Amino acid sequence: MKKLIFASVLLSSAAFANLHLAPPDFDSKFGRSVFVDFKQADYSVTYDIQNQVTTVKSKIIFEATKKGKPLFDLIPDVTEIKIDGREAIAHEISFPGGVSTLRQVNVEVLPGTHTLEVENTIDTNVIYNEDFETVSSAFWIRDLKDRMFLEQYIPSNFEFDQYKMTFNINFEGIDQADQEFYTNGKITKISPLSWKIEFPEYFTVSCPFYHLTPKGFMRRIDFNYRSISGRDIPVTVYSPWRKRTKKFAPEAARVLKELEADYGPWAHPGLVAYGTIKGTGGMEHSGATATSFGALDHEMLHSYFAKGVMPANGDSGWIDEAIASWRDKGYQRNPSTGFTGSNLGAHSPYKRNTDDRAYALGAAFMSYLDYRLQDRGGLKAFLRGYVQTYKHQVITTEHFKNNLEFFSGINFDSEFGTYIWGKNTKDTKHFHGANPNHPKLTKEFLRSLL
Ligand SMILES: [Zn+2]
């Protein structure tokens, strides 16, 4: 029995050893930089209500497979950093080609398991209310802009990696925290001033949903939705207005029904949907979303494509926006893509955000694939099998193409070579512009959603 348990532990950690999906290691002016595999990240977030300061102490266990200086990311200033108990510095450096910025620890590590400890403060998307001794805070993310995942708040790895995250939330300077949490993690109250939120080990840096509000600030509805798997899915919809929340509840159930019929059982413990202001689009998390009413269906589709199977990098991000937009446009089938070519999936391997032409060009490409697969049940038949087979796994464009070819028996070298890994198309003027489901939002607006 012991042996069996040991084997399954090995298997489960091996399942998320995703270093083969990391971009290539590189040399910076500070030395050889190596991507590492986060195994576990514990984040202790303390809200000091009297002094209105939010601090994070993080402890990350990671594995290096090569000698070099470990890479991670964190936008706020680092107050303190230690590696294996020794004081260190985290330089801010550029990826090759200057496509993005990240952090490199100035200590060379050998292959093996190491501990990274980091302290920082959070100013982004946190508001203290002095009169009521409460705080509003959220870890909003975006995927169309660079460096907008969890690295805005806490030390994080890149999208290729999956690791167990735990948030230990503490309040100081008050006797009792009158707060409410909305999250896609498992929450446990530890004391009147502390809570623990555990996220599944398959989560990436763009999966957690975390929104802290003063108690009673939001109008919430909780109900169970009976999945086609027979499981009861706990659903929470909430917004500042009772009327808006009431509108979200039946729509969430309607979309769950549609998506389960098309793509199989919902692959998340539950669904949390925060209803935001009309016309402002939304952002997808894993079985969770902050979204306007009009984009709720689009964001829930992303719980299959984006957060059911998850992109490994910016060059794979086009897939989920293409599928979501193809659905938004009524699953069109078209014998031609209508454009001459694109490099949607052929930017730098270090690119972290999605090419925003994925909505238009990507959706047109999906319409074309659907045409080519019409004798094989259409593209939806492939997508259903794909998402159910690889759910909770990180995928790339190559992986998607290989499976599409295996399913269909059709070679798509030339189509992907032209439309995804090709040259920029000349006739895409009308394919530019923000998508209504993910418009560009200001920092002030994101803060106003607290
Ligand atoms: Zn989208």
**H/E element, 81:** strand 78-83
Tell me the β-bridge partners of 114: 62
Domain with CATH 3.30.2010.30 in the chain: 219-303
Tell me the CATH number of domain 219-303, given options 3.40.718.10, 3.30.2010.30, 3.40.50.720, 3.40.50.300. 3.30.2010.30
How far, in Å, CA of 213 to CA of 182, rounded? 8
| Helical residues (DSSP H) of 233-356, grouped into ranges | 242-263, 296-301, 318-328
Q: How far is the CA of 141 from the centre of ligand 1 (A)?
A: 13
DSSP letters for 95-153:
PGGG--EEEEESS-B-SEEEEEEEEEE--TTEEEETTTTEEEEE----SSSTT-SGGGT
DSSP state of 178: -
Q: How far is the CA of 56 from the centre of ligand 1 (A)?
A: 30
Domain 7-213 homologous superfamily, CATH? tricorn interacting facor f3 domain (2.60.40.1730)
Q: How far is the CA of 324 from the centre of ligand 1 (A)?
A: 6
Q: What is the pLDDT of residue 153?
A: 98
Alpha carbons within 13 angstroms on the beta-carbon side of residue 159 total 29
How far, in Å, CA of 366 to CA of 332, rounded? 8
**H/E element, 15:** helix 2-15
Domain with CATH 2.60.40.1730 in the chain: 7-213
Query: In the chain, what's the furthest Cα-to-Cα distance?
Result: 66
Q: How far is the CA of 90 from the centre of ligand 1 (A)?
A: 33
Q: How far is the CA of 351 from the centre of ligand 1 (A)?
A: 18
Residue 195 token pair? 């809570």
Q: How far is the CA of 47 from the centre of ligand 1 (A)?
A: 32
Q: How far is the CA of 418 from the centre of ligand 1 (A)?
A: 23
Residue with tokens 């957060």: 307
Q: What is the pLDDT of residue 15?
A: 54
How far, in Å, CA of 62 to CA of 72, rounded? 11
Q: How far is the CA of 242 from the centre of ligand 1 (A)?
A: 26
Beta carbons of 291 and 299 less than 8 angstroms apart? yes
Residue with tokens 């949390």: 272
Q: How many CB atoms lie within 10 A of CB 150?
A: 24
Q: How far is the CA of 59 from the centre of ligand 1 (A)?
A: 32
Beta carbons of 242 and 220 less than 8 angstroms apart? no
Q: How far is the CA of 128 from the centre of ligand 1 (A)?
A: 31
Q: How far is the CA of 328 from the centre of ligand 1 (A)?
A: 10
SS3 for 272? strand
Q: How far is the CA of 186 from the centre of ligand 1 (A)?
A: 25
For 58-72, what is each residue's pLDDT tens digit? 999 999 999 999 999
Q: Report, at the CATH architecture level, how domain 310-431 is classified.
A: Orthogonal Bundle (1.10)
Q: How far is the CA of 144 from the centre of ligand 1 (A)?
A: 9
Q: How far is the CA of 282 from the centre of ligand 1 (A)?
A: 8
Q: How far is the CA of 337 from the centre of ligand 1 (A)?
A: 20
User: pTM for this one?
Assistant: 0.93
Q: How far is the CA of 431 from the centre of ligand 1 (A)?
A: 15
Q: How far is the CA of 385 from the centre of ligand 1 (A)?
A: 21
Domain with CATH 1.10.390 in the chain: 310-431
How far, in Å, CA of 267 to CA of 254, rounded? 17
* Nearest partner of 316 among 342, 289, 349, 359, judged by Cα: 349
Q: How far is the CA of 300 from the centre of ligand 1 (A)?
A: 9
* Nearest partner of 159 among 324, 396, 388, 343, judged by Cα: 396
Q: How far is the CA of 117 from the centre of ligand 1 (A)?
A: 34
* Amino acid present at 108: E
**H/E element, 166:** strand 164-172
Q: How far is the CA of 353 from the centre of ligand 1 (A)?
A: 12
Q: What is the pLDDT of residue 433?
A: 57
Residue with tokens 């070099």: 68
Beta carbons of 127 and 450 less than 8 angstroms apart? yes
Q: How far is the CA of 288 from the centre of ligand 1 (A)?
A: 13
Residues with pLDDT less than 70, the chain: 1-15, 425-434
How far, in Å, CA of 235 to CA of 296, rounded? 14
Q: How far is the CA of 221 from the centre of ligand 1 (A)?
A: 25
DSSP state of 424: P
How far, in Å, CA of 93 to CA of 100, rounded? 9
Q: How far is the CA of 68 from the centre of ligand 1 (A)?
A: 36
Q: What is the pLDDT of residue 4?
A: 37
